[in-house]
A and B are shown apart, each in its own frame.
Chain A
Amino acid sequence: MTALPPPPTRKLGLVIDLDTCVGCHACATSCKEWNAGGILGPLVDEQPYGREPSGVWFNRVHSYELAPGPAEGGGEPQPAMTLHFPRSCLHCETPACVTVCPTGASYKRAEDGIVLVDEDKCIGCKLCSWACPYGAREYSEVDGVMKKCTLCVDRIYNDKLEPEDRVPACVQACPTRARHFGDLGDPDSEVSKLVAEREGVALMPELGYGPVNRYLPPRPRRAGDGDAGEADAAPASKAGVAASVQRWLGRVLQR
């Protein structure tokens, strides 16, 4: 059924920390690895070793240059910086990708809000990919059906795995722990507290899709061009052997 279920109380989703993401693509590759054998697998590539390799990925890591930004909330003006941005399905509360589906292949689970595709029903009309503003759905030319992030539904409930492994593959693989998984419908969950503490945001909420996933914006940078000079100048003003040893150690460790 492509009609949406009543709003689920559990809203499983991801919280992605844009402050600590280093753009290493470990989430993307581990996702590809797990889901190649998962319930929406195989994720077959076309010409994987050919001239124009192409295939389905549920996770795409973009990198952007952020231009210097104005001061916000009484803070300092923000310097230019690099932003690594992992993009995947946000498991929206009102996902148009589900309601436009003519076959009932796309559905949102009533129990935890995960948006899935039943590959045995999908006719490959691609309309759901048009309806998603976040580019979360990718069509498999090989299988002729639509594929998307499953939030590793075959890991998170898998009692064959150790309890600590029952998280999405991307969350487990992240070397900087920039990805967090949990119930965003429960205000007392770890992820909800994290979102509250770091003022996590939804992507383009004005479009009305009600994304469940949250992104934690980069922490304000200490910016100012003068900062580095001041930091160096401070210890130099101290006299004494201890200070010289400290400077020497600092130089050695920098190498």
Chain B
Amino acid sequence: MHPALSVIFFTTLSGAGYGLLAWLGLSIFMTHARADLMPALQPLYLWGLAAGLALSTVGLLCSLAHLGRPARAWRALSQWRTSWLSREGVMALLVPLPAVALMALLLVVDPGPGRAMVLGACGLLLAALSLATVACTAMIYASLPPIPAWRHPLVVPVYLLFALLTGLALLFWLMAALLPFAPPEAGALLTLAALGALLAGCKAVYWHRIDRQALPAGRGGAVGLPGREAAVFERPHTQASFITREMVFVAARRHALALRLAAIALLAVAPLLAWGLAAMGWLAPGGLLAFTCVALLAGAFAERWLFFAQARHVVSLYY
């Protein structure tokens, strides 16, 4: 499949945004009754919610670039009964409601038991909606029978893990910057390294599988003659067509291997390295957290490019 930059930017940026919002929602839910902690945490929550909303919105705007008629995008909200893309759109529009409500509550409403209750409910709702949006994004891909690589059971968990990992890295970085009473510790980097290693392991399993996966039919079956061997004698068109550009995209094996190694290095090795540097006391954890954020996002970007470029579509049988 053709790796469209608009879709790659969308899924990585909005994934990180929704991951950050999910962690913030959970955090607010868990601290909603602690009136003593809330003033100290308030800057983190406010800036975090703003950053999460900004990232997810930028991601959504990137996805509009993939549309032929972006001005009609509102129509995509109508078919949530059958279409995962529509469900994703609906979810993405619902997420800002609890997020903005949380910001308003923290900024405008005086602390009290009533506010605490609503904070908790909105926090939980925000976490659920954010993760549901990411799951809908993954289901768009996982529900397409012509692309067997995307039907793998790890596709949805990996999308969720990427959102949670990049979101958590951003949260740790914001904590280092906005919570002055607790100087950042190296432990956060080790947590990121462990999650990154888990994700890299999932991807290794996925890559191992798709490298050995055949398309669900042969070329003989594609032309209605299963059992016969067919070789392309002449293509129907002399130039590339939409079908060959979009669906018969083939990534060079050499480049793909290099990108896979780069993704593993960025996801698992970079956070571990950052943790090592911090644990030795050679560099400050704050700067290393920023480095880890960038590395993880770059790793997500490389993985997402491969996710598209290495997925074979059944229609390629005809070419």
Contact = CB atoms under 8 A, between A and B. Distances in A.
Nearest to B314: A133
Interface stretch (A34-42, A61-69, A177-185, A240-248): A61-69
Contacts of B287: none
B147 A130 contact: yes
Given A65-B231, A102-B89, A123 B67 contact: yes
A3 interface: yes
9 pairs of A and B residues whose beta carbons are closest in the complex: A124-B68, A144-B68, A135-B315, A102-B86, A60-B236, A133-B146, A102-B76, A133-B314, A103-B75
B212 interface: no
B256 to A, nearest CB: 20
Contacts of B234: 23, 62-63
B242 A129 contact: yes
A83 B79 contact: no
A171 interface: no
Contacts of B237: 57, 60
Contacts, number: 199
B83 A102 contact: yes
B246 A100 contact: no
A151 interface: no
Interface stretch (A6-14, A155-163, A201-209, A231-239): A201-209
A145 interface: yes
B229 A131 contact: no
Interface stretch (A48-56, A186-194, A219-227): A48-56
Contacts of A122: 68-69, 72
B144 to A, nearest CB: 6
A206 B236 contact: no
Interface stretch (B53-61, B175-183, B219-227): B219-227
13 contacts: A66-B229, A78-B228, A105-B75, A121-B75, A123-B70, A135-B247, A139-B242, A143-B68, A203-B221, A204-B217, A204-B221, A206-B217, A207-B146
A56 B243 CA distance: 10
Interface in B56-90: 66-70, 72-73, 75-79, 81-86, 89
Interface string B280-298: 0000000000000000000
A82 interface: yes
Contacts of B247: 129-130, 135
A206 B66 contact: no
Contact of A53 (B85, B227, B239): B239
A101 B217 contact: no
Interface string A83-99: 10101000000001001
B75 A123 contact: yes
B241 interface: yes
A126 interface: yes
Interface residues of A, number: 68
Given A61-B236, A123-B67, A207 B145 contact: yes
B231 A67 contact: yes
B32 interface: no
B216 A217 contact: no
User: Most B CB atoms within 10 A — which of A61, A102, A143, A206?
Assistant: A102
Contacts of A203: 221-224
A125 interface: yes
Given A2-B82, A215-B224, A123 B68 contact: yes
B145 A208 contact: yes
A100 B241 contact: no
User: Most A CB atoms within 10 A — which of B1, B140, B222, B224?
Assistant: B224
User: Most A CB atoms within 10 A — which of B145, B216, B225, B232?
Assistant: B225
A78 B229 CA distance: 12
A173 interface: no
Contacts of A143: 68
Contacts of B230: 64-67, 83
Nearest to B140: A127
Contacts of B224: 18, 201-203, 215, 217
B78 A135 contact: no
A64 B218 CA distance: 13
A207 B84 CA distance: 20
Contacts of A110: none
A25 B89 CA distance: 41
A67 B239 contact: no
A203 to B, nearest CB: 5
Contacts of A196: none
Nearest to B232: A64
B208 interface: no
